[in-house]
Chain A
Amino acid sequence: GNSVTQMEGPVTLSEEAFLTINCTYTATGYPSLFWYVQYPGEGLQLLLKATKADDKGSNKGFEATYRKETTSFHLEKGSVQVSDSAVYFCALRVLTGGGNKLTFGTGTQLKVEL
């Protein structure tokens, strides 16, 4: 089956620190990979995505590279801000079975302090 494993949180960083949130996956088939972000009290929003090996998704200073050889899609940001405090979810989608269904990881809470 399909599954996504994320590093456990919370991750606490000082403002301007470097961020890495690890994500690895197992999938039957060739998945597309996503990072979603959930700000406090809100629903999830798509942060970035990648559809094939070696693709790099980027948005708002965040980046993630689709690594097929290590089945990973780690999220990085060079300098975090307090406003980046949120829960980050890694997800995958395989184009079989219909319905455009996503499989989510458990989420990683990020807290950024001044």
Chain B
Amino acid sequence: NAGVTQTPKFRVLKTGQSMTLLCAQDMNHEYMYWYRQDPGMGLRLIHYSVGEGTTAKGEVPDGYNVSRLKKQNFLLGLESAAPSQTSVYFCASSQYQAGGLNEQFFGPGTRLTVL
């Protein structure tokens, strides 16, 4: 099992450009998440999904869109990149288990720089 993979690993954009980050998981997990990690701020949840075809806003959703067309994939889109979106982006997934302690499994991250 590859676990959670992210594409690309690095990307440099100019202000106003668009791009899509791809997250894929092979663990058949129901839940998937996108976080951003910034110095001194820990990880903040951007959007998440509780199942195929569903998405929901997290703590910092503005400027991002997501889609979960297939259970194993969760896409994060930036329509018009801004320098404030320079960050490291992490995808995670977890299984659903009612009342359970569902560990989140993380991908290796994507380092995005917006000039």
Contacts and interface: CB of A to CB of B under 8 A. Distances in A.
Contact of B109 (A4, A32, A43): A43
B9 to A, nearest CB: 10
Interface stretch (A61-69, A76-84, A101-109): A101-109
Nearest to A4: B42
Nearest to A102: B104
B43 A89 contact: yes
Given A99-B48, A99-B50, A101-B45, A49 B40 contact: no
B106 to A, nearest CB: 3
Interface in A1-24: 4
A100 B31 contact: yes
Contacts, number: 52
Given A99-B31, A99-B56, A100-B31, A46 B103 contact: yes
Interface in A26-60: 32, 41-46, 49, 51
Nearest to A95: B99
Given A100-B31, A101-B45, A43 B106 contact: yes
Interface of B: 4, 31, 33, 40-45, 48, 50, 56, 58, 90, 92, 94, 96, 99, 101-104, 106-109
Interface of A: 4, 32, 41-46, 49, 51, 89, 95, 98-102, 104-107
Given A99-B31, A104-B42, 10 more contacts: A32-B101, A41-B108, A42-B109, A43-B4, A44-B43, A46-B103, A100-B96, A101-B48, A102-B45, A106-B42
